[in-house]
Structure 1
């Protein structure tokens, strides 16, 4: 597939995916969704990729759904029915969230500007979120008579607690990057001119880290809210049994004993 709505390339074990509709603040349309789906499918079949960085082109990260996109603006002209927004969520946004969570590699999101609507919740589907100090998160759904989709009703209360999640979702106010860090919504707020540098430094670290262990860590942490303590301990037991047989574990132990930097291969 030729990409015209995203930028996507892989190098040195790092996948770079950039939302690329800067004239529309990188808002989603169907074409962008299809290109992202294609890129993520490529990642799943490329064992050389050990980390992904997601960001936006231009002055904003993502303004959410492009409301001028016919898929959500118009209904069925034949019977004058309104658009089925549930179909849009089911076909595009929900699979996008699940695909990011299922990737067996760390996913870093570098929020470079306004993140609104679906664009505010998309970073929360990633594993580590960095945000430029000028960035902001806005749950604009309430201003359209909608609910926070793209996992918003799942991520917000877990990250912020019920009180702050309700305020963010029902008032639709701007949450600055500094506030998002203080509240635990994101990992770190950095100066604007350091955002890409920080993201690349982290990606470079992950590209030489024990990838399978990180993938299992990601899977275990995301599974924990649905598990009892006993179930989570069983999951940890099974994962540790498998990881203990990995090349990376053997290399990590050898490097520790020999007092040298490890050379992980991701297996």
Structure 2
């Protein structure tokens, strides 16, 4: 079945949720994020499946926030950030394992969604990219807590430097737990969930012990919300997004070689 840009199917008692908007690199609008959180909650009770895999269609896991239009008010910013936060909240509330199967580039908020998953399995084409600091946008999804929890001191350069982290480095520093061939990605994620949930009752208890505490996650949300408000009020957010689209829409000038110049 297909809901908006989210495909859902059951594979060996595991729910596979696939972001399916390849023409836009699986960028997520507000409606898709709401749908994703609702779907995670529906399957996260353990009544229907033993676990959840989140992946993308095509060459991207997801380009994150759909920046097609610049928000016109802080209320729109707050709504957008709240829907990202709620995906993190939905994942951490599940009683089943949730694995991100990172099939390609994961940008911004989409990259951050994977941080709260119980494992991240990637292909050699997997790339992490956090461009927010260079676009006037503030990180969300409790990534201010979760990034450092996973990669410790590497978090500063990933966020502040907006560096692209390829699959091999992501595996080395802890953003990825495993790299597999693209054709084996979802099957491997399903296999891991099956291995982890031999007794779902005990697995649920261990998930609660190993995941970050809800109060710490909510505190991170609050700090990120305040930072988003200050970014908006300073004008940095609007300038950053407008600058992004200006660079994307700028006309390209064909390269001119030396023989072309001599003929003129």
TM-score by length of 2: 0.75
| Deviates most, 135-144 or 216-225 | 216-225
Query: 2:122 aligns to what SS in structure 1?
Result: strand
Displacement of 1:159 in angstroms is 1.3
Is 1:100 the equivalent of 2:91? yes
DSSP 3-state at the match of 1:122: helix
1:184 to 1:86, Cα distance in 2 relative to 1, 3 A: same
1:118-177, Cα deviation, whole Å (9 max, x unpaired): 11111111101101111100111012112222222111111111x311111011011111
Q: List alignment gaps of at least 5 residues for structure 2.
A: 217-264
Q: Is the 8 A contact 1:134 1:177 kept in 2?
A: yes
Q: CA deviation at 1:103?
A: 0.5
Structure 2 CA distance for aligned equivalents of residues 220 and 129 of structure 1: 19
Say if 2:155 is the partner of 1:165.
Answer: yes
CA distance in structure 2 between the partners assigned to 1:93 and 1:107 by the alignment: 16
Partner of 1:188: 178
Task: Spell out, residue by residue over 1:79-135, the C-alpha distance to the aligned partner (whole angstroms, 9 max, x if none).
Answer: xx4664233212x01111010011000011100000010111111111011011111
Contact 1:147 1:169 survives alignment (8 Å): no
Q: Distance in 2 between matches of 1:107 and 1:223?
A: 14
Which residue of structure 1 aligns with residue 16 of structure 2?
16
**How many Å separate the matches in 2 of 1:74 and 1:167?**
28
Q: What displacement does 1:49 show? A: 1.0
Instruction: Give me the whole-angstrom Cα distance separating, in 1, the residues matched to 2:28 and 2:44.
Output: 22
1:240 corresponds to which residue? none
Partner of 2:79: 87
**Aligned mate of 1:200, from 186, 190, 205:** 190
Please report the RMSD computed on the Cα atoms of aligned residues, expressed in angstroms: 2.3
SS in 1 for 2:26: coil
Higher relative contact order (CA 8 A, sep 6+): 2
**Does residue 47 of the first structure (1) align with residue 44 of the second (2)?**
no
Q: Which moved more, 1:10-19 or 1:52-61?
A: 10-19
Question: CA distance change for structure 1 residues 86 and 224 in 2, over 3 Å: closer, same or farther?
Answer: closer
Match of 2:146 among 148, 151, 155: 155
> 1:47 aligns to what SS in structure 2?
coil
Q: Return the offset for 1:25.
A: 0.8
Take 2:38 and 2:155, find their aligned partners in 1: how far apart are those partners?
A: 32
Give matches, 1:101-250, under 5 Å: 101-161=92-152, 163-206=153-196, 209-223=198-212
Alignment partner of 2:211: what SS? Answer: helix
Q: Which 5+ residue runs of structure 1 have no aligned equivalent?
A: 76-80, 228-267
User: Could you say which residue in structure 2 is the equivalent of 1:28?
Assistant: 28
What pairs with 1:39-78 in structure 2 (closer than 5 Å)?
39-44=39-44, 47-68=47-68, 70=69, 73-75=70-72
Q: Aligned pairs, how many?
A: 216
